[in-house]
């Protein structure tokens, strides 16, 4: 007969959290994004795009609780110094 109850899933015992992981490497990716922006800024100078994107990246790092020490470690790992 089909799913006539209007439910999203066809059976009641469907595990919704079975989907793929969504936030496994957010912190690493946020730090890597900021380091790439610093690298671009060193190469190209401070453009309007880099300035705006850097502001957003800094807000993201603040939201995730990333410390300056973590950023410095990532910079030295990439071979850059701030």
| Domain assignment present for 67 | yes
| Domain assignment present for 46 | yes
Whole-angstrom distance, CA of residue 47 vs CA of residue 61: 21
| Domain assignment present for 5 | no
The pLDDT tens digits for 39-78 are 999 999 999 999 999 999 999 999 989 999 999 999 998 8
Whole-angstrom distance, CA of residue 55 vs CA of residue 50: 8
The pLDDT tens digits for 26-36 are 889 999 999 99
Whole-angstrom distance, CA of residue 81 vs CA of residue 10: 56
Question: How many structural domains comprise the chain?
Answer: 1
pLDDT of residue 19: 58
| Domain assignment present for 14 | no
pLDDT of residue 78: 84
| Domain assignment present for 4 | no
CB 37 within 8 A of CB 71: no
Give residue 35's domain range.
27-78
pLDDT of residue 79: 82
- The yes-or-no verdict on residue 6 having pLDDT over 80 is no
| Domain assignment present for 61 | yes
């Amino acid at each position: 007969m089909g799913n006539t109850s209007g439910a999203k899933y066809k059976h009641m015992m469907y595990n919704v959290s079975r989907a793929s992981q969504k936030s496994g490497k957010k912190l690493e990716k946020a730090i890597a994004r900021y380091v790439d922006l610093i690298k671009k800024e060193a190469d190209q100078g401070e453009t309007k795009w880099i300035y705006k994107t850097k502001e957003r990246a800094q807000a993201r790092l603040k939201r995730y609780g990333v410390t300056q020490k973590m950023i410095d470690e990532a910079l030295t790992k990439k071979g850059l110094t701030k």
